[in-house]
Chain A
Amino acid sequence: MKIRVDMDACDGHAQCVFAAPNVFELDGKGKVNYVAEPDESEREHVMAAADACPLLAIEIIE
């Protein structure tokens, strides 16, 4: 699967880190680092992460 995070919108709330820790982590500046093409087995976690982002910054492309 492929995802994209709007880094201008990301404000480091970390909800995605809690929902999908294998895909998202916070960098030292309060923004997220992420795996752009996570394994398909992560799909449910990534969807939960997208649902949980207060800035609505996570887009699942495919």
Chain B
Amino acid sequence: MSKRVVVVGGSLSGLRLVENLQLKGFEGQIVVCSDEFVMPYNRPPLSKDFLTAGTELANIQFKTRPTLSSADWRLGVSAVSTDVARSTVTLSDGSELDFDYLVAASGVRPRPLTWERNVGRVYRVRTHTDAERLREAIRPGSRVVVVGGGFIGGEVSASARALGAEVTLLCPSAQLLQPALGSVLAQKIMERHEEAGVDVRVNERLPEVNADAARIKLASGEIIEADVVVEAVGSLPNHEWLDSELLDLTDGVLCGNSLQAAGSDNVYAVGDLARFPNPMFDDVPRRIEHWNIAVETARRAAQSILQVSGTLPNEPGTDFTPLPSFWSNQYEYRIQAYGLPRIADRIESLEGEMRGAPIMGYYRGDQLVAVAGLDNGPQLIEYSREVGK
């Protein structure tokens, strides 16, 4: 009897999972449901070149292997609910699918702010249609207000300046980038934004309720007029369609180190949705929204399915210890980090701080848990090899 894998989510992680299953000889049926209407594409350019250079969707879609078409891709179809005990998933087209293995690859969505009026001016950047809509809205001289000082907010601000817009960046925390990256890198990026003409406001409370997207009232009472408002204040996991009776959906899907979901023996989670322990650091399960973790978790979950389905020998595996890697391009800088800065208890300058190309080390006790810098040089890579040691 042929086994069936149902993958919910057709982005990077879902794609890599399918590729890995096929590559290693999985002979069952693979069904992929994606709420998007196109085959998987690469999201990082959406806040950068895709906005500024008029990139076509076709240019950012992943090259696919010929075998991929043997999977059953159901585009424009999302999952509505699951019944883990019965091993069925109900789809938005009304159909119900039995599965032998279910993979949750449905990722995250931007966290919405609450707007009472002029919501047509509010934009976000997650899908290609989001980015297409935004780039059509930004004109030279447009008044663009970006809410959120993280990577997406900084990238969209830099892109909007490149398009000739007037940009105000409202940052809810005390500094740009991820707070965990510390003040040295954040200060450099903030200076670069200001040099580019972005009006950066830190410690700016977010407009939450009764907000008018055309006229944003700050805590100080000042009113900023906006033609375009971009929400970039983090994300929410797309896990509502999963079975909360049996699974732990506290924040994404709680998994073991094999990416098998706790509370089931045939459900797996990958990518932004998977909350899993990484023994490189400790046994605390964490959700990590990085591009490389999407790839790594897909490979690991595929390995798990290949073993339990008998495609590969079910030998005790090695620990899954991926090194998180993330980056942000803003102007000529690339902020590049390896590891988990958020678990550090102190930050030290490893070198270069005075020369303008700082490399920062993030420590928890004596353990180096992350390194980050503003360049992509070989020194940073060499430091990255010490992370988690």
A interface list, Cβ under 8 A from B = 11-15, 17-18, 26-30, 47-48, 51-52, 54, 56, 59
Identify which of A13, A27, A28, A48 contacts B336 (C-beta below 8 A). A13
Q: Does the CB pair B376–A15 fall under 8 Å?
A: no
Additional A-B contacts beyond A30-B378, A51-B299 (18; CB < 8 A): A12-B376, A13-B327, A13-B336, A14-B376, A14-B381, A17-B381, A26-B378, A27-B378, A28-B378, A29-B377, A30-B375, A47-B23, A51-B16, A51-B19, A52-B296, A54-B292, A54-B327, A59-B63
In angstroms, how far is the closest chain B Cβ from the Cβ of A16?
A: 11
Find chain B residues with CB under 8 A from A12 CB: 376-377
Which residue of chain B has its CB nearest to the CB of A50?
A: B63
Identify which of B63, B291, B384 contacts A14 (C-beta below 8 A). B384
Q: Does the CB pair B299–A48 fall under 8 Å?
A: yes
Q: Does the CB pair A28–B377 fall under 8 Å?
A: yes
B325 interface residue, CB < 8 Å from A?
Answer: yes
Find chain A residues with CB under 8 A from B327 CB: 13, 54
Find chain B residues with CB under 8 A from A52 CB: 292, 295-296
Alpha-carbon gap, A14 to B296, bound state (A)? 15
Query: Closest 3 interchain pairs by CB?
Result: A12-B376, A30-B376, A14-B381
B interface list, Cβ under 8 A from A = 16, 19, 23, 42, 44, 62-63, 291-292, 295-296, 299, 323, 325, 327, 334, 336, 375-378, 381, 384
Find chain B residues with CB under 8 A from A48 CB: 299
Q: Does the CB pair B42–A56 fall under 8 Å?
A: yes
Alpha-carbon gap, A13 to B55, bound state (A)? 22
> Can you pick out 11 interface pairs between chain A and chain B where the beta carbons lie within 8 Å of each other?
A14-B325, A14-B381, A15-B325, A18-B323, A28-B377, A28-B378, A29-B377, A51-B19, A52-B292, A52-B295, A56-B62
With A30-B377, A56-B42 in contact, do A15 and B292 touch (Cβ < 8 Å)?
yes
Alpha-carbon gap, A30 to B376, bound state (A)? 6
Identify which of A26, A29, A59 contacts B381 (C-beta below 8 A). A26
Q: Does the CB pair A13–B325 fall under 8 Å?
A: yes
Q: Does the CB pair B378–A51 fall under 8 Å?
A: no
Find chain A residues with CB under 8 A from B323 CB: 18
In angstroms, how far is the closest chain A Cβ from the Cβ of B146?
A: 23
Which residue of chain A has its CB nearest to the CB of B61?
A: A56
Alpha-carbon gap, A51 to B375, bound state (A)? 23
Alpha-carbon gap, A10 to B190, bound state (A)? 26
Alpha-carbon gap, A29 to B375, bound state (A)? 10
Which residue of chain B has its CB nearest to the CB of A15?
A: B292
Identify which of B16, B23, B291 contacts A54 (C-beta below 8 A). B291
